[in-house]
């Protein structure tokens, strides 16, 4: 436990700030001519070696949306192999508010994919319950800056340093339980850190309220937030086991 606290202190400054410059990404929201369906397209505005990302996209207010299809850009497909299998990106999404769509993307190999400026990350189709304005036109979508996070190759190395030894059982007590030791990253508290914990954490991030879910075990990086950084942290534990 002392080792983990020391590492947290050493790297808190490294991982403290997560707000991203929205100049890294751009998005268009194009309404079809029927004024009922629309497509959101997100592109990268810089050359980046990308491991994972999380973003909240704000859609036009006054409508209820149904998510149709999420299609990954070609650069996010066939990223190679690792001990955990394919490193193709997995994208999960859900509405965390009526008009705010959260998207979380990761790969089970924690492999960085080199992306060029202008690369398409993904596009999402929607159906709205009422007519949308601007048929057959496209306009710029907006993002919540505080919740737009890119895990780059450089950031992944920082996370690896910060979680060194985190796959070793710690003597901390699970909140609400009189006794029982726990593993950092064992967010479903079944005694092991595995892919199920990645799934549970993704579910938490997109507002699906997984049960059981233990928030303290999800705090892999030492900044006390729970986000896509911690997803890559759990995967890092799995790869090094």
Q: Which tens digits make up the pLDDT trace of 172-187? A: 434 444 334 578 889 9
228: which 2 tokens? Answer: 């896509």
Mean per-residue pLDDT, 152-171: 71
50: which 2 tokens? Answer: 């990308």
Q: What is the tens place of the pLDDT at every residue in 199-222? A: 999 999 999 999 999 998 998 887
Report yes or no: 89 and 107 within 8 Å, Cβ to Cβ.
yes
Give yes or no for residue 170 having a pLDDT over 50. Answer: no
* Predicted local distance difference test score (pLDDT) of residue 4: 29
- Domains of the chain from N-terminus onward: 2-15+155-240 (no CATH), 23-150 (2.60.40)
Mean per-residue pLDDT, 64-89: 71
Q: Is the dihedral of CA 158, 229, 92, 132 positive or negative?
A: negative
Report yes or no: 30 and 137 within 8 Å, Cβ to Cβ.
yes
> What predicted TM-score, i.e. pTM, was given to this entire model?
0.79
* Predicted local distance difference test score (pLDDT) of residue 138: 66
Cα separation, 74 vs 227, whole angstroms: 25
Mean per-residue pLDDT, 122-135: 86
**Element containing residue 126 per DSSP (H, E):** strand 120-128
């Amino acid at each position: 436990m002392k080792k983990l606290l020391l590492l947290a202190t050493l790297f808190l400054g490294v991982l403290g700030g997560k707000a991203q410059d929205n100049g890294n990404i751009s998005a268009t929201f194009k309404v079809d001519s029927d004024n009922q369906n629309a497509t959101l397209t997100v592109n990268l505005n810089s050359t980046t070696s990308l491991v994972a990302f999380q973003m909240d996209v704000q859609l036009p207010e006054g409508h209820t949306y149904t998510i149709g299809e999420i299609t990954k850009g070609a650069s996010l497909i066939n990223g190679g192999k690792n001990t955990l299998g394919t490193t193709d990106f997995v994208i999960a999404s859900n509405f965390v508010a009526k008009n705010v769509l959260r998207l979380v993307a990761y790969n089970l190999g924690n492999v960085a994919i080199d992306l060029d400026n202008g690369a398409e990350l993904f596009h999402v189709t929607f159906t709205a319950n009422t007519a949308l304005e601007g048929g057959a036109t496209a306009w710029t979508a907006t993002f919540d800056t505080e919740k737009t996070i890119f895990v780059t190759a450089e950031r992944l190395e920082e996370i690896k340093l910060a979680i060194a030894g985190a796959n070793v059982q710690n003597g901390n007590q699970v909140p609400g339980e009189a006794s029982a030791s726990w593993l950092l990253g064992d967010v479903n508290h079944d005694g092991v850190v595995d892919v199920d914990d990645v799934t549970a954490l993704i579910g938490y991030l997109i507002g699906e309220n997984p049960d059981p879910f233990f928030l303290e075990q999800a705090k892999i990086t030492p900044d006390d937030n729970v986000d896509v950084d911690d997803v890559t942290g759990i995967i890092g534990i799995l790869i090094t086991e």
